[in-house]
Homo-oligomer: A and B are copies of this chain.
């Protein structure tokens, strides 16, 4: 069994943003030399997400509006977590979007359906944060 590990670093200038990281994961897969196995991609921070969806700007706008409805940023005082911080909403938004994805590796490629793309979802940005890529297989 082979294993491969890499950290991807992001420094998002806004509080919230969705970034397509599929090209970064493909570079990892190539570096790994693994042709059959599983690829875990997870946010290493608890106010960020890794998820799979469509790379369509209208949908990304809809996700932003929807998350703000389900877990609004303000007023900050509505959250007990916001004593020293203001990011409780980011923890909840990431909970809805998910921490991680596991992707099948088949014949040296990400085994995806037609529109699947991997995104990093930043919900409390303006600082450096990391995504972990771990691939195991042969």
Interface residues in chain A, defined as those with a beta carbon under 8 Å from any beta carbon in chain B: 1, 3, 5, 36-38, 40, 42-46, 51-54, 56-59, 61-63, 66, 70-71, 79-83, 88, 91-92, 95-104, 106, 111-116, 130, 132, 134, 136-138
CB distance B106 to A81 under 8 Å?
Answer: no
CB distance A3 to B116 under 8 Å?
Answer: no
The complex places the Cα of A63 from the Cα of B90 at a distance, in Å, of 12
Chain B residues whose CB sits within 8 angstroms of the CB of A46 once the complex forms: 52-54, 113, 115-116
Chain B residues whose CB sits within 8 angstroms of the CB of A62 once the complex forms: 79-81, 88, 91-92
CB distance B80 to A115 under 8 Å?
Answer: no
CB distance B5 to A111 under 8 Å?
Answer: yes
The complex places the Cα of A116 from the Cα of B131 at a distance, in Å, of 12
Q: What is the copy number of this chain in the assembly?
A: 3
Chain B residues whose CB sits within 8 angstroms of the CB of A3 once the complex forms: 36-37, 106, 137-138
CB distance A99 to B58 under 8 Å?
Answer: no
Rounded to whole Å, the gap between the CB of A26 and the closest CB of chain B is 18
* A–B complex contacts, Cβ < 8 Å, 22 sampled: A1-B137, A3-B106, A38-B38, A38-B40, A38-B134, A42-B104, A44-B114, A44-B116, A45-B114, A46-B52, A46-B54, A46-B116, A53-B91, A56-B81, A58-B81, A58-B82, A59-B79, A61-B81, A62-B79, A63-B95, A104-B132, A113-B132
